[in-house]
Amino acid sequence: MKTLSITFKTLCYVKNTYQYNALKPLFTVVPRNVPEPELDIDYLCNLKYKLEIEENIKRRKGVGNINRVFELHRKLQNDTLSEENRMDLMKEFKEAAKQIPNKTCPLVALYDDSPKVVKVIGNKTKFDFQPKEFSDIAKMLHLMRTDNLSNMSGHKSYYFMGELAEMEQALVWFTVKKLLASNFQLISVPDILPCQIIESCGLTVKEDRTQVYMLDDHLYEGDHCLSGTAEMALAGYLMNRELCVTELPLRLAAVSRCYRAETSRMSEERGIYRVHQFTKVEMFGVTEHDSSAALLEEFRELQEETFSSLGLHLQTLDMPPHELGAPAFRKYDIEAWMPGRQMFGEVSSCSDCTDYQSRRLNIKYQPRDGGSSLHAHTLNGTACAVPRMLISLLETHQQADGIVAIPEPLQPYMKGKVVIGFQDNIPEMKFVKSKHKKDIHRDQD
């Protein structure tokens, strides 16, 4: 009841904000063209910083060639270049400069190659029986189907049935309500985006081991990708906008279906640990250029609070440089204990991207004391990735007789149910490989 009244108050606040915004157009009319990146040339092409940039690239994933950037920059200083040559060189220069990864947080640069455990919450549940793995629990209670689907709905596809499907929805509502109560604004986002936007967020699309599904470009004009996280659609929403400083820090939340083409043959990632499509609640933040660190901590605390209230044993990791993707300045990963697998599995992460994305997508704000507009800082984090959460929840709350206790905060969203038991309203269906009986007889005539 208390949560509902808090949410109502928050919603009134949200409603009022929107009424205010409706009167004064806050955002300017936005063109949908992905802009040319406005990179920090003063930093990237300054000899003073060249060594530290090189060091950074080495410690990160090794992508990016700062020497090439310097070389092209020097060539462009030549006044005697023809117009055509200048344009070609400029294009090459921009491509090379775009690839340089974001700076690394100085605290993180001190770590060697392993992540630093920043916080541990809760304890490993003590079982007086052998805890089962998620796939065994789901099989026994008839909650999920993964077999014989490859030829019908694609590799590694899955169906949640009955109360497991209800639990997915309960998780989404629980997370959304929590975010709304923490000053987040909910946005519904598209799942199909132009590839350019996805690339501007720091993900390469055209490589061989791509993580991204695309629409067949022989059939559909333009390059369209299926988004792997709502972060991309939200960044696309903010593209080319000049925000008012009174709106910052801006907290956005989105529930979306995420599509990822990456596969894994690692046995730890079996089952629904790594799948091609799943539901996720995402957080996205925009701050002034010096306040992103504070909001990152806020995101992390929110995640820790949400997951621990569901009874999970967690550890928060501050990731070392080589685990950071190109846009990230600093990244926290939160892992939950999965007793069935006897391992910690990553259930969420949150990254501070400083001005990497905003420089590529032209996200700016007007500073308090006037002057020219500055690039905002962006952050993103997973509020709830359903499959991993379900693995962790079912394995943690399983009971000796095979049923699963529903964590208290989720019970109101599951019509007050306390446990998940065998789904007797879903029949066991036989899978038959051969033809229909009558057709077999006909062929034998």
- If DSSP codes are grouped into helix, strand and coil, which group holds residue 425? coil
Residue 54 or 223 with smaller CB distance to another protein: 223
Shortest CB 355 distance to another protein, Å: 23
Check the annotation: does 16 bind a ligand. Answer: no
Check the annotation: does 316 bind a ligand. Answer: no
Residue 127 or 173 with smaller CB distance to another protein: 173
Shortest CB 22 distance to another protein, Å: 5
The b-or-e profile of 287-310 (16+ CB within 10 A means b, else e) is: bbeeebbebbebbbebbbebbeeb
Shortest CB 429 distance to another protein, Å: 4
Check the annotation: does 278 bind a ligand. Answer: yes
Q: 246 Cβ partners below 8 Å, 6+ apart?
A: none
Residue 39 or 203 with smaller CB distance to another protein: 203
Check the annotation: does 347 bind a ligand. Answer: yes
Residue 132 or 241 with smaller CB distance to another protein: 241
Residue 65 or 146 with smaller CB distance to another protein: 146
Check the annotation: does 261 bind a ligand. Answer: yes
Residue 294 or 418 with smaller CB distance to another protein: 418
Sort residue 329 into left (φ over 0), alpha (ψ -120 to 50) or beta: alpha
Nearest to 255, CA basis, from 200, 159, 190? 190
Shortest CB 66 distance to another protein, Å: 32
The b-or-e profile of 391-406 (16+ CB within 10 A means b, else e) is: bbbbbbbbeeeebbbb
Nearest to 374, CA basis, from 388, 353, 355? 355
Shortest CB 136 distance to another protein, Å: 19
Task: Let me know: does 347 contact 336? Beta carbons within 8 Å.
Answer: yes
Q: 390 Cβ partners below 8 Å, 6+ apart?
A: 134, 164, 167, 168, 171, 272
Check the annotation: does 160 bind a ligand. Answer: no
Amino acid at 277: Q
Check the annotation: does 328 bind a ligand. Answer: no
Shortest CB 110 distance to another protein, Å: 38
Check the annotation: does 205 bind a ligand. Answer: no
Residue 22 or 47 with smaller CB distance to another protein: 22
> CB count, 10 Å around CB of 283?
28
Check the annotation: does 189 bind a ligand. Answer: no
Shortest CB 39 distance to another protein, Å: 26
Which residues is 283 bridged to in the sheet?
253, 381
CA distances (Å), origin 129, targets 138, 397, 419: 18, 13, 18
Q: Which residues are annotated as a binding site?
A: 229, 260-262, 275-278, 282, 346-349, 380
Q: Which residues are annotated as a binding site for ATP?
A: 260-262, 275-278, 346-349
Q: Which residues are annotated as a binding site for L-serine?
A: 229, 260, 282, 380
